[in-house]
Structure 1
Amino acid sequence: MQSRGGGTRRVAILAFDGVTMIDVAGPADVFSHAARLGAAYEVTVVSPDGADVVTSTGLTLHVARAAAECGPVHTVLVPGAYGMVDRPFDAALVHAVGHLVQGAERVASVCTGSFLLAELGLLDGRRATTHWRQTDVFARRYRRVLVQPDAIYVRDGHILTSAGVSSGVDLSLAMVENDHGPTLAADVAEAMVVFMQRPGALSQFSAPSRRHVGRDDPLRPLLDAIAADPAGDYTVPSMAAVAAVSTRQLTRLFHDAVGTTPARYVETVRLENAQSLLQRGHTVGAAAAKSGFGSAETLRRVFTSRFGVSPSAYRDRPHPVPPSHAASPE
């Protein structure tokens, strides 16, 4: 099968014992759907020694071959695993990554897979991200990496790194879009019932993160209120009053529970709301007013700074749009 944008792209996904299942399955599904829609991708799952692996779910994942037997590939994808950064990396695993990336045109990681790239020095002097719970460890351990703590994914040259869990799907959709254009990427997202292709600069600390804050947490009523009415007046003192805590405690609670500042969280919720409105065809001015940015100029400035694209350009690109009553996917 000929690719819409050239020859077949071989994608090697490295699996190993304990690997997070969705870090492998999500990207594999994206490329497989793209292939069914006319893009020539060949996905191969490999392991350090060629043996099948037991994933984080306890399921056994069939592996095609050892990394050393994989041959030349276009794209290498390195997933993560729960707890993998808390112990020394297996030498065979690091060696497998090193072998795979030799000659690859594109290298990508999901979640803590970025630690393996950094271990080999591949991220020195580059911008990169990882799961938000591990960004502090990432920055301390690899001081030459320019850590982007809240990005969904980061592209720096031919290397892409992404945050945790579902961000592997966002990352893979971005690669498909880069290879074959936004229409095919949108078709893949629609087929997978992934309603929104999130730009890489979108914060990991999205509005749905409130789901991970307990109902009895003092932040929960505030996060629910912000999600319900992004255009509300959310100064730090007013938010502290809703949460019934001091402003200093509010800042600490946001850092501990959500991983960002109160102001950054509000901005992120507003940006997500603006994205949804733009996807449904609202003007930039209307999206700005409804999402709490006030003016079209303010939305343009913040939107372009975060996403690297203007609101109007984002609105005009193809998007699979969910029904108005659908919940935001995570």
Structure 2
Amino acid sequence: MTRPHQISLLAYEGCQLLDVTGPAAVFGAANEGRDRPFYDVRIVSPDGGAVTTNCGVAVMSHPIGGRPDTLLVAGGSRGLKAALAREDVLAWLRKAAPKAKRFGSVCTGAFMLAAAGLLDGKRVATHWASCERLADRFPALTVDADALYVVDGKVWTSAGVTTGIDMALALVEADLGAAAANLIARHFVLYARRPGYQSQFSPLLQAQTNADAPFAALIDWMQDNLDKPLDVPALAQWAGLSERSFYRKFTDATGKTPAHFVEGLRLDAARTLLAKGLPLKAIAGRVGLRSSARLGQAFERRFGMAPSLFREIHASP
């Protein structure tokens, strides 16, 4: 019998609880219903024992050590500075990570890997609020400030908090297949499995955060009606405003003109459909861009690559 795939989740005083428990729950769920566990999930910490997380909840841990197959470092704010000062932890990361099948981080855990010299020359993700700081402090790496998670060779890094769950599901898919990952997502009652290329700054989430009624409801409707005309006259009528008043208030609420905002919604939807392998013409019609030529021009202008190349990179096998 082969041994289970060992996963070590590095925690420390003040780390973000969900950075640890989110991925741990995903890997634990992957073991359910199997004759024997596929994963051996271990929370490790600099000294072992109880580790108090950022919200006051303590988790039990093993002392750092061993040779994990997958090594992930949790993020944190209050405790990160002290963890970075632990040379013994950095030394263990330098020893264990290169020998692992893959290693990575959730949220600001990327700072720990970068401080250990393990991210030089790599493209990585971290929480949007820390992207600039990470790039400034460690110029040998490249920060993708937009992605939910990034895979660069054997290095897997995710953005803030809940994106650790998205990345963990992708890791399960790599090990056990899409059906297993989708079953876990369904069991967790997730709204959707989010791909790594999806932006940390979704137009819908930003609108829900910043826009008052009627714009939040309008944007929900827009998401479901991308194939319809979404010009200023139609949107103003839906909102019950004059065109001039609508344009001004919508731009103030979202930070984007209606046309720019609508294009963003359409192109984000197009990325999801491209990853499913749909033909360009069909996608263009479904997202309201009418022709594959128009889709191609807008897509390349926004993402810097042709839709066909994006589909080749991201389409599910």
Tell me the TM-score normalised to structure 1 length: 0.74
Q: CA deviation at 1:190?
A: 1.5
Which structure 1 segments of 5+ residues have no match? 255-260, 318-330
Deviation for aligned residue 1:290: 3.9
**Cα separation, 1, equivalents of 2:154 and 2:95:** 17
Q: Distance in 2 between matches of 1:264 and 1:14?
A: 41
- Residue aligned with 1:136, SS: helix
Secondary structure of 1:213 counterpart: helix
Which residue is 2:55 aligned to? 57
Provide, for residues 45-87 of structure 1, a one-character-per-residue CA deviation record: whole Å limited to 9, x for no partner. Answer: 1110112100112111111x2103xx11100010101345677
SS at the partner of 1:82? coil
Amino acid corresponding to residue 97 of structure 2 in structure 1: V
Structure 2, gaps ≥5 residues long:
233-243
Deviations 1:162-193 (A, max 9, x none): 00011101101111111122111112211222
Count of residues in correspondence between the two structures: 292
Are the structure 2 counterparts of residues 130 and 86 from structure 1 closer, same or farther at C-alpha, using a change threshold of 3 Å?
same
Match of 1:89 in 2: 84
Q: Does 1:142 align with 2:138?
A: yes
Aligned to 1:28: 24
The within-5 A match list for 1:244-259 is: 245=252, 253=255
Once residues 141 and 201 of structure 2 are traced to their aligned partners in structure 1, the CA distance between those partners, rounded to angstroms, is 21
Distance 2:95 2:196 in 1: 27
Q: Equivalent residues in 2 for 1:128-277 (5 A)?
A: 128-210=124-206, 213-214=209-210, 225-230=218-223, 231=226, 232-233=230-231, 241-243=248-250, 245=252, 253=255, 266=262, 268-274=264-270
Which gives a bigger RCO, structure 1 or 2 (Cα 8 Å, sep 6+)? 1
Instruction: Give % identity.
Output: 34
Q: Give the distance between the partners of 1:110 and 1:117, measured in 2 at CA.
A: 11
* Bigger Cα displacement from structure 2, 192-201 vs 109-118: 192-201
Shift of 1:13: 0.5
Counterpart of 2:311?
309
1:186-243 Cα distance to aligned partner (Å, 9 max, x none) = 1221122224221111111124423662456xxx865654443143248xxx986233
Q: 1:66 aligns with which of 43, 51, 63?
A: 63
2:38 pairs with one of 37, 40, 47: 40
Q: 1:113 to 1:272 in 2, by over 3 A?
A: same
Say which SS state the counterpart of residue 311 (structure 2) adopts. coil
Q: Of the candidates 89, 101, 122, which is equivalent to residue 126 of structure 1?
A: 122
Distance 1:150 1:275, change over 3 A: closer
Residue 128 (structure 1) shift: 0.6
Separation of aligned partners in 2, 1:273 and 1:298: 15
Root-mean-square deviation (Å): 3.8
In 1, distance between residues paired with 2:117 and 2:260?
A: 31
Say if 2:110 is the partner of 1:114. Answer: yes
The answer to whether the 8 A contact 1:153-1:163 is kept is yes
Tell me if the contact between 2:275 and 2:314 (Cα under 8 Å) persists in the aligned partners: no
The question of whether the paired residues in 2 share the 8 Å contact of 1:32 and 1:43 is answered with: yes
Given the superposition, is the C-alpha separation of residues 225 and 24 from structure 1 closer, same or farther in structure 2, using an over 3 Å criterion?
Answer: same
TM-score (norm 2): 0.76
Structure of higher CA gyration radius: 2
